[in-house]
Amino acid sequence: MTTATAVDPQTVHKWWKQFARSRKDAIRNRLIEHYLHLVRYTAERLYAKLPEEVELDDLISAGTFGLVDAINAFDLSRGVKFETYCAQRIRGAILDELRSMDWVPRLVRARAHKLDRARGELEMQLGRTPSERELAKKMRLSLTEFRKLQRDARAVGLIRLSRKWFETDSNRDVREIDVLEDKRSEDPFEHFQRKDIRDWVTRGLSRAERLIIILYYFEGMTMKEIGETLALSESRVSQMHSAILDRLKHHLNRGRKSLQIQ
C-alpha cells in the first residue's frame, strides 16, 4: 500500500477549513494528492480479485473520481474521519466503472458455464458439494489453473447496463438499465420516518453519544470503526454504547407510562 505524503494533521485540517470556506480548486487538489493513496489501496484490493483483462489504471482513474466526489460532499462539521467517509465512495465509483464496461471476455464466460455444469454433475454423483481438487480433476485442470478460473468466474455476474433487453415498436429499445431495480432509492415516507425515529432516539444525548448511535445503527459501522472515527478505544465505545442503551430503555419506559396515564 502506498502511504500518504507526510503532512501533519494540523496542516490537513487547515486545508479542509480553507476548502470549506473558499471551495478553491488549488486547495481541492492538495486534498486529492494527500488522499490519493486510499484510491490505489482500494483499487489494488479489488484488482487482486478480478480477471487479468482488467487494467489497474482504469480502476485507479475511476476511484479518483470517487475521491473527488467525496471531497466535494464532505462536511467537516460532522466530526467524522474523512478516511472512513470516503472509503465507500471510492469503492462505489470503481464498481460503477466495472459495471459500465463489458470487460468479461467470451472465453471467461464459456469456462464459467463449464464450471457450473461440472459442479452440478459432481453434486449429483457425490450427493454433496465437491471440493476444489475434485472439480479441478473433473475439468482436467491443475489446482492453480482451476483457482484462476474460479476467480475469473466471479466476474461474470456483472452485466453491461447499456445492453439491449428487448426491442419495441418505437424507436427506443429497452436496455438492461431500464428494467434494473434501483435499490439505492428510498421511499420518501420511510426516509422521514427513519429521520423522526433517529431524532427522537438521539434527543438529549451528547455529541459523541449521538454519533455513536447514528454511526452504529444508521450507518452500519462497527465499534472499532466508530472508535477510530471518534479517536476512542473500542472498549470505551462499547461502554458508552451500553450506558446509552440503559438510558434509552429508561426513556422508553417513562414514555410508555406517560401514554398509559393519558
* 123 and 194, same domain (yes or no): no
Q: What is the pLDDT of residue 71?
A: 93
* 149 and 89, same domain (yes or no): no
Dist. CA 173–CA 166, nearest whole Å: 6
Q: What is the pLDDT of residue 192?
A: 62
Inside any domain, residue 152 = yes
Q: What is the pLDDT of residue 34?
A: 93
Inside any domain, residue 180 = no
Low-confidence ranges of the chain (pLDDT < 50): 1-5, 158-184, 259, 261-262
Q: Which conformational region is residue 170 in: left (phi greater than 0), alpha (psi within -120 to 50 degrees), or beta?
A: beta
Inside any domain, residue 179 = no
Cell 482513474 sits on residue: 61
Q: What is the pLDDT of residue 198?
A: 64
Q: Which domain holds residue 242?
A: 188-261
**pTM (predicted TM-score):** 0.42
Inside any domain, residue 122 = yes
Distances (CA, A) of 76 to 19, 21, 31, 90: 10, 11, 13, 18
In order, the DSSP letters of 139-199 are: TT--HHHHHHHHHHHGGGG---TTSEEE--SSSSPEEHHHHS--TT---HHHHHHHHHHHH
Domain CATH code at residue 33: 1.10.1740.10
Q: What is the pLDDT of residue 124?
A: 85
For 227, the grid coordinates are 472508535
* 204 and 227, same domain (yes or no): yes
Planar angle of CA 236, 241, 246, nearest 5 degrees: 130
* 235 and 207, same domain (yes or no): yes
Inside any domain, residue 139 = yes
21-68 residue pLDDT tens: 998 989 999 999 999 999 999 999 888 877 666 788 888 988 999 999
Judge whether 159 and 176 are in contact, CB under 8 Å.
Answer: yes
Instruction: Give the number of domains in the chain.
Output: 3
Q: What is the pLDDT of residue 232?
A: 85
Instruction: Indicate the residue among 71, 100, 129 that finishes a domain.
Output: 100
Query: For the chain, what's the residue count?
Result: 262
Instruction: Indicate the residue among 161, 178, 197 that finishes a domain.
Output: 161
Q: What is the pLDDT of residue 102?
A: 53
Inside any domain, residue 170 = no
DSSP lists the bridge partners of residue 175 as 164
* 82 and 153, same domain (yes or no): no
* 140 and 78, same domain (yes or no): no
Inside any domain, residue 4 = no
Residues 135, 138, 141, 143: is their CA dihedral positive or negative?
positive
Domain CATH code at residue 196: 1.10.10.10
